[in-house]
Amino acid sequence: MAEARSTVVVVTWRGRAHIRECLDALAAQDRASRVLVVDNASDDGTAELLAGHDVLRLPRNRGYAGALAAALPRVDTEFVAWLNDDAAPNPSWIATLEDALDSHGDVAAVTSSLELPDGSVQSVGVRLTADGHGADTALAGREVFGFCGGAVLMRTAALRSVGGVPAGFFCYYEDTDTSWRLRLRGWRVISVPARVVHRHGASSRLGSSKFHHWNERNRLLMLVRCAPLLVVLEQLARFVAITAVLPFRKPAPGANFRMPLRLAVLADVAWRLPASLVARARISATARVRRRELWRTWAGR
C-alpha cells in the first residue's frame, strides 16, 4: 500500500450517532490516508466506539478550532484535511483534493463540494461579504475567497507558516480566518467537485445563543486580525451602534439581536483584543499581499 500523503483530522464531540458513517466513508477511500480522530471529551459513549482508531482524546471540550490546533503537532504528512464528523465523503474525495494541490503549486487549500442529504448544495467554498462575514457560496465554477472547514485539504507547511489554527475561536470562523491568512501570504484557495454529504447541524446546536455568540465574536476578532484597519473600525462601530439602539426599538428576530448576548460579545472581544492585535502585527510582518487589495478583490463578490 502506498504511503499516505494526507492526514484527515476528524473532530468529534458526542458524535456517537453519526461518526461511524464518516469513518466508514474514509475507510472506503480510493487512496490511502491517515485518519486522526480528536475526541473533545465526549461523554456519550463515543470513546468506546472509537476503539481501534487513532484517537487524540482531550481532557475537556476545546471546540472545533481548539481540537484542530491540538491535532496539528501530530500531523507529519504533506497534506492535512479537516472533516466534520457528520460528513461522509465519496470514495474519490481525498484523491481529488490531493490531485488538485499537485496541479496548482500556488494553491494552499482545496475546498470540497458539501451537499445536504437531499442533494442540494450547501457550500463549494466561502465568500467574503461587504460587511466582513464569511458566508457559504453554492456557485460553482469560479475561484473562492476561502474554504469551508467542514471538508478541506491544505498543505501542512502552509498552514503552519501562517500560524496554524486560531484555537481560541473555539468554534466557527476558524476557516475564514485561516483563509484570510493564507491569502495574505500570497496563497490561493480553490474549489473542486469533491463530493461530501453533510448532515449539517448534527454535531452542533445551530441557532443557539452560544452559536450566535461564537459567530459574532469570531467575525469581529477575525477582522481585527486580518482585515484593513478602516474595515475593522467600521464594523466594530457598527456592532456597538446597533447594540446601543436595541433598547429603543421593537425586539428584532434572532438571538444575535438580543442585548445580553451582544453585550457579552463586546466584553469578550474587548478581553481578547490585546492578543488579537499582537496576532495582527505578526500577520502583517509576513504578509505578501496588502489587506486592502484582498478586500477590494473579494468583499461583496
Tell if the pTM clears 0.85, that is, is over it: yes
| 239 in Cβ contact with 270 (< 8 Å) | no
Between vectors from CA 217 to CA 211 and to CA 223, what angle results, nearest 5°?
130
H helix intervals, 185-258: 209-226, 229-245
pLDDT score of 206: 62
| 121 in Cβ contact with 113 (< 8 Å) | yes
Residue type at position 146: G
DSSP three-state, residue 217: helix
| 103 in Cβ contact with 153 (< 8 Å) | no
Lookup: cell for 33? 490516508
What 58-63 contacts at long range (C-beta under 8 Å, 24+ apart), as own/partner pairs, is: 61/13, 62/167, 62/170, 63/169, 63/170, 63/171
Lookup: cell for 197? 454529504
Pairing label, strands 6-12, 34-39: parallel
pLDDT score of 187: 98
pLDDT of 253 higher than 90:
no
pLDDT score of 2: 77
Rounded to an integer, what distance in angstroms lies between the CA atom of residue 145 and that of residue 134?
Answer: 9
CA–CA distances in Å: residue 23 to residues 11, 116, 252: 11, 18, 41
- Taking residue 291's Cβ as centre, other Cβ atoms within 10 Å add up to 21
pLDDT tens digit string along 117-176?
A: 999 999 999 999 999 999 999 887 678 999 999 999 999 999 999 999 999 999 999 999
**Phi and psi torsions of 231, nearest 5°:** -65, -45
pLDDT score of 115: 96
Rounded to an integer, what distance in angstroms lies between the CA atom of residue 64 and that of residue 233?
Answer: 28
> What is the crossing angle of helices 209-226 and 229-245, to 10°?
150
